[in-house]
């Protein structure tokens, strides 16, 4: 194989990875050699090599193999001839097309499916959606940062990508960078190691819109937090839009510096609530159309989508996975998607969903019931009006989930397992003597099982 052959092969990847990812990550790869099943490419920076290895190795290996090359592994080497510099000088950086040109601030690839068109709006996510839409218009920065939070699989990443897609199309002049907090840390550590901190700082301070996903990741990682804080402040000072996501509210992220928490709260904080039945049904309907486009018109019995919307948990990713499996299976065996086939094919997911009451749900329901804020429920305050509901929540967590005492303790603000045990015993005791408590428990239990 030679560089020209590689030139042809790589063109075939453009469709698979998307145009901007292609020009950022694949286009610059220079084929060096193929030896003993290892294909080596020259890349301008180590970071880029790592990135391509992590995100596109499968695509590239697939394309190479398809063209007949005998290759099982990829290697990326910084070309020694070229100056190592393209890495980082902002002055040498052309404005980013998709916001993540390989030689400027590297962001993560955007998922082409995560658009606003494909985002189904319902009560639980309408606020988050509206806020995301507003930011995507790219007008004057009115709330900064936009902080989106919610449980896993509720659409945080989807919304962030949707904002990025929209901005990149509407305002190609803007430098939009999306990355996960983990990638931010990775970049930061690499800059430290390669003594490129000045470049790192300048680069991150030169973006127009910065999106950092899953920011809870940097909790407890002190120097990364520190750097994130400075980047954040520098951008806010320049009136650049920042969009952050996390799996919980800023105030509830443990081991995050107080000043960062308060900074994160200073803009607009919106949460994505767990999906409800209507939203799940809406999402299933939309995804069914997409599956039909992919699998042809597999017939489906009435009531299947309703059944799934009822029975499967709030996590949209699980819902999606179930539907995909159903379609793949039905089209494989050439059968209609009946209720029976659904139950057979998804037995494990349905079983899992059945006993899925999460500690978060318990805490939320208990908080609502006793009118206690979540932060108090998991916080340190010991007054009876808070401590008792907390013990009730611990009791429910012990009885209704498969979590261990230490795990429950951790979810209640990092308490010791003996504290949880004490709480559970106390409630067991009160259940026999205090009819109000007994009634509360019954009510909560029923609400959670519903
Ligand atoms: P999170 O980042 O909150 O964990 P994701 O954004 O990755 O969740 O969403 C998980 C999956 O569910 C993705 O495939 C996403 O497209 C899909 N999804 C989540 N919410 C919606 C929605 N409202 N409409 C359509 N798809 C959704
Ligand atoms: Mg996510």
Domain boundary among 271, 305, 340: 271
Same domain? 429 vs 341: no
Secondary element (H or E) of residue 174: none
CATH number of the domain encompassing residue 332? 1.10.8.60
Cα–chain-centroid distance for residue 312?
20
What pLDDT, on the 0 to 100 scale, is given for residue 162?
97
Q: What are phi and psi of 269, to 5 degrees?
A: -110, 120
Q: Which atom of ligand 1 is nearest to the CA of 316?
A: 12
Q: Does the beta carbon of 96 lie inside 6 Å of ligand 1?
A: no
CA distance 107 to 180: 8
| 84 CA from centroid of ligand 2 (Å) | 33
Same domain? 110 vs 257: yes
Residue 18 marked as a ligand binder: no
Residue 367 marked as a ligand binder: no
The SS3 assignment for 254 reads: coil
What pLDDT, on the 0 to 100 scale, is given for residue 336?
93
Q: Does the beta carbon of 248 lie inside 6 Å of ligand 1?
A: no
Residue 89 covered by a domain:
no
Low-confidence ranges of the chain (pLDDT < 50): 82-104
What pLDDT, on the 0 to 100 scale, is given for residue 1?
80
| 158 CA from centroid of ligand 1 (Å) | 5
Distances (CA, A) of 195 to 6, 187, 201: 34, 12, 12
| 246 CA from centroid of ligand 2 (Å) | 8
- Enumerate helices (H) and strands (E) in the chain, giving the number of each: 21, 8
Same domain? 225 vs 99: yes
pTM confidence score: 0.64
Same domain? 262 vs 285: no
What pLDDT, on the 0 to 100 scale, is given for residue 101?
41
Instruction: Tell me which residue range forms the domain holding 60.
Output: 3-78
Q: What is the DSSP-derived secondary structure letter of residue 98?
A: S
CA distance 164 to 351: 37
What pLDDT, on the 0 to 100 scale, is given for residue 313?
73
What pLDDT, on the 0 to 100 scale, is given for residue 442?
84
CATH number of the domain encompassing residue 426? 1.10.1750.10
């Amino acid at each position: 194989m030679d560089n020209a052959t590689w030139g042809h092969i790589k063109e075939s990847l453009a469709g698979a990875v998307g145009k901007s990812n292609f020009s950022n990550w694949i286009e610059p790869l220079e084929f060096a050699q193929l030896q003993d099943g290892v294909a080596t490419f020259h890349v301008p920076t180590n970071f880029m090599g790592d990135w391509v290895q992590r995100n596109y190795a499968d695509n590239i290996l697939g394309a190479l193999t398809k063209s007949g090359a005998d290759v099982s592994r990829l290697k990326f080497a910084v070309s020694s001839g070229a100056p190592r510099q393209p890495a980082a000088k902002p002055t040498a950086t052309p404005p980013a097309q998709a916001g993540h040109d390989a030689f400027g601030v590297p962001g993560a690839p955007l998922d082409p499916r995560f658009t606003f068109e494909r985002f189904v709006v319902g009560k639980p996510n309408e606020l988050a959606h509206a806020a995301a839409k507003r930011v995507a218009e790219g007008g004057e920065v009115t709330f900064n940062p936009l902080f989106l939070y919610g449980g896993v699989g509720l659409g945080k990443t989807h919304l962030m990508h949707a904002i990025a897609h929209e901005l990149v199309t509407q305002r190609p002049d803007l430098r939009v960078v999306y990355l996960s907090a983990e990638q931010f840390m990775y970049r930061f550590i690499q800059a430290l190691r390669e003594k490129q901190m000045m470049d790192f700082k300048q680069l991150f301070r030169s973006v127009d819109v910065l999106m950092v996903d899953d920011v809870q990741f940097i909790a407890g990682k002190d120097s990364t937090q520190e750097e994130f804080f400075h980047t954040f402040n520098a951008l806010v000072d320049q009136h650049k839009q920042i969009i952050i996501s996390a799996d919980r509210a800023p105030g509830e992220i443990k081991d995050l510096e107080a000043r960062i928490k308060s900074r994160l709260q200073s803009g607009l904080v919106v949460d994505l609530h767990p999906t409800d039945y209507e939203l799940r049904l809406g999402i299933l309907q939309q995804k069914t159309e997409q599956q039909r486009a992919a699998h042809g018109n597999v017939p489906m019995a009435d009531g299947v989508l309703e059944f799934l919307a009822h029975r499967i948990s709030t996590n949209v990713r699980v819902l999606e996975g179930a539907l995909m499996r159903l379609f793949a299976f039905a089209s494989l065996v050439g059968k209609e998607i009946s209720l029976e086939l659904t139950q057979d094919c998804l037995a494990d997911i349905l079983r899992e969903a059945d006993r899925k009451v999460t500690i978060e749900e318990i805490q939320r329901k208990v908080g609502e019931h006793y009118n206690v804020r979540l932060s108090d429920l998991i916080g340190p305050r010991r007054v009876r009006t808070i401590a008792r509901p907390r013990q009730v929540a611990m009791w429910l967590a012990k009885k209704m989930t498969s979590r261990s005492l230490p795990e429950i303790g951790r979810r209640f603000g990092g308490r010791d397992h003996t504290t949880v045990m004490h709480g559970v015993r106390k409630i067991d005791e009160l259940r026999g003597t205090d009819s109000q408590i007994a009634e509360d428990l019954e009510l909560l239990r029923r609400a959670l099982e519903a």
